[in-house]
Amino acid sequence: MNAAIRAATLIGRSLGAEVFGIERGYRGLLEDAIVPLLPAEVAGILREGGTILGSARCKEFHQREVRDRARTVLANRGIDGLVVIGGNGSLTGALHLADPAEIGSGPKLAVAGVPASIDNDLGLTGLSIGVDTAMNTIVEACDKIADTATAHDRTFIVEVMGRDCGYLAMTSAIAVGADLALFPEAGKPEASIVDHIVDTVIAVRTRQAARRTRRVIIIKAEGVGIGVDRLKSQVDARLRERAPDADPSGIETRVTVLGHVVRGGRPSAFDRLLGSRLGNVAVRALAAGESHKMAAWMPPVDLPPEVGVRSLADPYCWIVDLEAVLRETENLLTGKSPLARWRAGVFDQIEDARLL
């Protein structure tokens, strides 16, 4: 996110704007925690993970009167354009904050979103800031886990974040060369998840003779509605039934929950570039008089012109309608969008081809 803050600051200033940073998101906005952003403040921040401005959950922002207070703070500061860097909740807040029906005859306010969430659950953007760094962290962790798994012929279930979205689990499973990916979009009941794991373990152990290929790595998205402890005990019990002659210490699974490790760390080169490009496009959209838009990275579908247009500032970026983004995000999360169906379906082909 720091790359986006840096780009928005430097480009905004070059376009003649005065640029401020709001600390801790909407919570900081309500407390008037607003600081000037000068080139010195954003120098050297590209390599830092997270955000120099801080972040906070702010549930009260769902209330109209709380947003009225936020608009008063902005108006008192003379701020008329806001770049909002965040996920579903932050962008929904932005849409309401600049809703003309809520603003009424009050001072004008424009918003431009920048998608940032390791979950990659936002609609109409191919990627959000943070996803690539998170995937790299998962791959590095799984490569390390694979050493123990290989040495001891073990099965590891590695849980990764992603909220209700399986994107991180799916993509990192391919990048790691895992044996199975478990993700909520598959909609599988608990019993079939357990069976799938057990079948995979038995298949790997029987088909691969070479010691270095006998390990089993399973990547599970946190959104799969069965906790890792419960999953482990069910899988272990079933493995003991199915392979009664196997050495129990070898066949027993191990579990690693990567948790917040996946959420931080030094941003990858790609994320720094993505943040810079999206920050640039968002601030330029505001300067050009746009509002209720989000800077997007190569939407994975062709967009009709009323939904989005390719950015003139960067041909890899699009400026898409914020309301359409939030609608598509909902469709992605409920599995209604063609992209969600494709993501889930493509894994059947991947498994058939034994790419996993």
**Which residue, 139, 153, 91, is CA-closest to 282?**
91
What residues contact 253, with CB distance under 8 A and at least 6 apart? 154, 155, 156, 157, 197, 201, 232, 235, 236, 239
Nearest approach in angstroms of CB 160 to ligand F6P is 8
**224 and 126 Cβ atoms separated by less than 8 Å:** no
Exactly one of 2, 51, 92, 117 binds ligand F6P (CB under 6 A); that residue is 117
Q: What are phi and psi of 291, to 5 degrees?
A: -150, 165
The smaller minimum CB distance to ligand F6P, of residues 199 and 330, is found at 330
Taking CB under 6 A as the rule, does residue 120 contact ligand F6P? Answer: no
Taking CB under 6 A as the rule, does residue 118 contact ligand F6P? Answer: yes
DSSP SS3 for 255: strand
Taking CB under 6 A as the rule, does residue 163 contact ligand F6P? Answer: yes
**242 and 202 Cβ atoms separated by less than 8 Å:** yes
* Whole-number Å distance between alpha carbons of 316 and 228: 39
Exactly one of 12, 28, 81, 87 binds ligand F6P (CB under 6 A); that residue is 87
Nearest approach in angstroms of CB 276 to ligand F6P is 21
The smaller minimum CB distance to ligand F6P, of residues 79 and 182, is found at 182
* Whole-number Å distance between alpha carbons of 259 and 118: 12
Query: Amino acid letter at 8?
Result: A
State yes or no: is 119 an active-site residue: yes
Question: What are 85's strand-pairing partners?
Answer: 114
Taking CB under 6 A as the rule, does residue 21 contact ligand F6P? Answer: no
CA 303, 304, 305, 307 dihedral sign is: negative
The smaller minimum CB distance to ligand F6P, of residues 161 and 340, is found at 161
Residue 6: how many CB atoms within 10 A of its CB? 24
Binding segment for ligand F6P (CB under 6 A), chosen from 159-167, 240-248, 304-312, 335-343, is 159-167
348 alpha-carbon distance from chain centroid: 23
Tokens of 193: 């998840």
Query: Amino acid letter at 147?
Result: D
Classify residue 181 by its DSSP letter. Answer: E
Taking CB under 6 A as the rule, does residue 161 contact ligand F6P? Answer: yes
Nearest approach in angstroms of CB 264 to ligand F6P is 10
What residues contact 191, with CB distance under 8 A and at least 6 apart? none
* Whole-number Å distance between alpha carbons of 333 and 70: 29
Site string for ligand F6P, 219-238 (x = CB under 6 A): ---x----------------
The smaller minimum CB distance to ligand F6P, of residues 162 and 267, is found at 162
The smaller minimum CB distance to ligand F6P, of residues 59 and 108, is found at 59
Exactly one of 119, 132, 179, 328 binds ligand F6P (CB under 6 A); that residue is 119
- The residue from 119, 179, 271, 321 that is catalytic is 119
Exactly one of 162, 166, 267, 308 binds ligand F6P (CB under 6 A); that residue is 162
With CB under 6 A as the rule, give the number of residues binding ligand F6P. Answer: 9
The smaller minimum CB distance to ligand F6P, of residues 89 and 300, is found at 89
Where in 45-84 is the site for ligand F6P (CB under 6 A)?
A: none
- Give the residue at shortest CB distance from ligand F6P: 161
Binding segment for ligand F6P (CB under 6 A), chosen from 3-11, 63-71, 113-121, 136-144, is 113-121
The smaller minimum CB distance to ligand F6P, of residues 12 and 162, is found at 162
Query: Amino acid letter at 65?
Result: E
Taking CB under 6 A as the rule, does residue 263 contact ligand F6P? Answer: yes
DSSP SS3 for 157: strand
Footprint of ligand F6P (CB under 6 A) = 87, 117-119, 161-163, 222, 263
Catalytic residues: 119
